[in-house]
Amino acid sequence: MTLFISKLLSKSRYLVGLAVLGSFVGMVTLLFYGVWDVYHLVSTILAAQEYEGIGKKLTFGFIEALDTFLLATVCYIMALGLYELFVDDRLELPSWLSIRNLDDLKNKLTSVIIVLMSVIFLGHVVSWDGDRDLLRIGAPIALVIAALTWFLRQNSKSTH
């Protein structure tokens, strides 16, 4: 019985393949959506009859697309990291993307989330109409970014 449970638990790590597949499908879907969004933005701008305010629309549109691409990157890093940790660690990846343990995966994801939140706030700044209070949006984002940065620093201190 113990041998059966040991084998079952050992093989159950392949169930993480479902999370890998889901993350990969999410990445592909977000990438296609981002490309479609950019195509739609550019075609709308090219077809426009009036060019007033077009720079702001372009800037905001591309920031939104970057946001989508960054989220796709998060999904990709999750897929690679989970696959490398639980299924097969022989993936040929650049050293900066290599994930040796769960802390590496958390650190990479946290770094991308910090950038993602910064891009989200930048989108609010670019689309600011003067009415909304940017401090109500920016302060919580800054607080979360500060906490995540502290987390990254603590993690790097403990691994060195």
**Span 32-58, average pLDDT:** 89
Residue 131 predicted with pLDDT over 90 = no
Biggest CA-to-CA distance, the chain:
75
Residue bearing the bigger pLDDT, 159 or 30:
30
d(CA 121, CA 59): 13
> What band does 17 get if pLDDT is binned at 50, 70 and 90?
very high
**φ/ψ of residue 36, rounded to 5:** -60, -40
d(CA 21, CA 4): 27
Quick check: is 126 in a domain?
yes
d(CA 49, CA 158): 58
**Span 122-130, average pLDDT:** 84
Quick check: is 86 in a domain?
yes
The total number of structural domains in the chain stands at: 1
Q: What is the DSSP string of 137-149?
A: HHHHHHHHHHHHH
Residue bearing the bigger pLDDT, 1 or 114:
114
Residue 159: the pLDDT is 66
Quick check: is 133 in a domain?
yes
Quick check: is 7 in a domain?
no
How many C-beta neighbours within 10 Å does residue 46 have?
7
Quick check: is 118 in a domain?
yes
Residue 160: the pLDDT is 61
Quick check: is 76 in a domain?
yes
Residue 153 predicted with pLDDT over 80 = yes
**Span 67-81, average pLDDT:** 93
Quick check: is 3 in a domain?
no
Residue 18: the pLDDT is 95
Quick check: is 78 in a domain?
yes
Residue ranges making up the domain that contains 153:
12-159
Q: Which residues are CB-contacts of 73 (< 8 A; sequence separation ≥ 6)?
A: 27, 112
d(CA 37, CA 85): 33
Residue 157 predicted with pLDDT over 80 = no
Most confident of 23-37, 76-90, 97-111, 126-140: 23-37
